[in-house]
Amino acid sequence: MNDREDTTLQVVAYCCHYCAYAAADLAGVLRLSYPAETRIVEIPCSGRLDPLEVLHALEHGADGIMVAGCLEGDCHFQEGNLNARRRVNHIKDIITAIGLEPERIEMFNMSAAMGKQFAEAASKMTEQIMELGQNPLR
């Protein structure tokens, strides 16, 4: 591993197809900048977030996890974003039990028209991870 890989942070952003992924796309169209450390993974609905996949991402070097779904009450799959929030809280409990900071994973809600808010959320998440430092599991 070279020095550059040692200091580069990785934030994985699991984004629902209908809202958060569209907001990320809008941020790009509007040429809004957000940290290059953000790696976007499109999922059909934030409610389909798999806790095991998140734990595997952390195990394999992700420093932080951003889960982005529809606005509460506006999920295309009725309660998917509420299920995602429960899963995020459950994952926080799990990673706390294994010695990681619960702030390494956060849930954000946004509509497809909120490109600016996506960029702000990605920046906020990256700053939060920078304060925590690299994932010790790396």
Q: What is the pLDDT of residues 70-91, one digit of tens each?
A: 998 888 888 889 999 999 999 9
Structure tokens at 23: 């907001």
Least confident stretch, 5-9, 20-24, 50-54, 55-59: 5-9
Q: For position 90, what pLDDT does the model report?
A: 97
pTM: 0.91
Q: What is the mean pLDDT of residues 47-53?
A: 95
Domains assigned to the chain: 11-132 (3.40.50)
Q: Which of 129, 102, 123 is nearest to 34 (CA)?
A: 123
Contact 125, 66 (CB under 8 A): yes
Q: What is the mean pLDDT of residues 59-69?
A: 96
Q: For position 3, what pLDDT does the model report?
A: 41
**Based on C-alpha coordinates, what's the Rg of the chain?**
14
Q: For position 123, what pLDDT does the model report?
A: 97
Please, where are the H alpha helices in 30-136?
Answer: 51-59, 80-97, 115-132
Has residue 97 got a pLDDT over 70?
yes
Q: For position 4, what pLDDT does the model report?
A: 40
- Give Cα 48 distance to the centre of its chain: 14
